[in-house]
Amino acid sequence: MEEQGWTISHILLTHSHFDHVGGLAELKELTGAPIYAHPDAGPMLARATAAAALWGIHVDAPPPADHPLAEGDVLAIGELRPVVLFTPGHAPGHVCFHLPQDGVVFDGDVLFQGSIGRTDLPGGDYELLMSSIRDKLLPLPDETVVLSGHGRTFTDVQAHIDANRTLVHKRLATVERELAAHGPMTAFAAVPLVFPGLMNQQSANWLLSETLAFLRHLEMTGRATREIFDGEPEAWSIA
């Protein structure tokens, strides 16, 4: 930063999952820059060290935010004027930073190239995430460059949503087909059939959450029925 003649004047948090705030304490100490975050991200920020420990990762306790963020805030950072978009769903208090004059949005973990943010983690909400994508990211111009918290940059949010929707419909059809062939079936049994070869320790919770969402959708639309047996996991059958 010194070589480029740059000064860090703001530390902006899209959300407070531990993989996004692991270096926050050191960055704050080195720069003295104030931290900006949505108030709803505060409790998770305070628990970041404990959350990381559950994954066997050490994270220094992050300091609390100095300034709150809210929908529509416009920040002044040098010549940049990022606009705050409130986009919860992946995590409480999640926000994106849109720079309309530069055609860029920093979207944290809302939308990735070919997928969306997880909602099986504490505070996640699938319906809320989809609302955030629909109401805040889809209206952006197609040429907007999306800079995600993980993975490659991309443009054309609508095309990525369409591709994700196609994939979801394909997996939903797989769940329905496997229920017809092997039901009644628990979510645990359905995961390797819907996501063959993808199951591992890191992905297990997310894949189970996705599979449960498919099963519950089939149940809510009358295409599957749920059965509960004493002492046994709930299972679904084709209606």
Instruction: Look at strands 185-186 and 235-238 and give their pairing.
Output: antiparallel
The pLDDT value recorded for residue 68 is: 98
Continuous segment of H or E residues that includes residue 167: helix 157-182
Tokens representing 42? 């505060």
Name residue 72's amino acid. Answer: G
What CA–CA distance (Å, rounded) separates 210 from 92? 19
Report the C-alpha gap between 140 and 73 in whole angstroms. Answer: 17
To which residue do tokens 């975050």 refer?
Answer: 37
Residue 26's pLDDT is what? 94
**Straight-line distance from the first to the last Cα atom of the chain, in angstroms, rounded to the nearest whole number:** 61
**Low-confidence residues of the chain, pLDDT below 70?**
114, 120, 199, 202
Q: What is the structure's pLDDT at 164?
A: 72
Residue whose tokens read 């004027």: 81
Q: Would you tell me how many other CB atoms lie within 10 Å of the CB of residue 56?
A: 6
Which pLDDT belongs to residue 49? 93
* Alpha-carbon span 236 to 239, nearest angstrom: 9
How long, in residues, is the chain? 239
> CB of 146 within 8 A of CB of 157?
yes
Q: Quick one: pLDDT at residue 106?
A: 96
Confidence at residue 80, expressed as pLDDT on a 0 to 100 scale: 94
Query: Quick one: pLDDT at residue 169?
Result: 82
For the residues of 50-69, what is the DSSP string, one character each? HHHHHTT---PPPPPPSEE-
Using CA atoms in the order 204, 207, 209, 214, what is the torsion angle rounded to 10 degrees? Answer: -150
What's the Rg (C-alpha) of the chain?
A: 20
202 class by beta-carbon count within 10 Å (0-12 exposed, 13-18 middle, 19+ buried): exposed
Q: What single-letter amino acid sits at 34?
A: P
Q: Over the stretch 205-230, which tens digit does the pLDDT of each residue have?
A: 778 877 887 888 888 889 999 988 77
Give the global pTM. Answer: 0.72
**192: its two tokens:** 């390797």
Domain architecture of the chain: domains with CATH: 11-155 (3.60.15.10), 162-238 (1.10.10.10)
Verify cis geometry, omega within 30 degrees of 0, for the bond prior to 184: yes
Q: State the pLDDT at residue 73.
A: 97
HSE-up (13 A, CA, CB side) for residue 126: 11
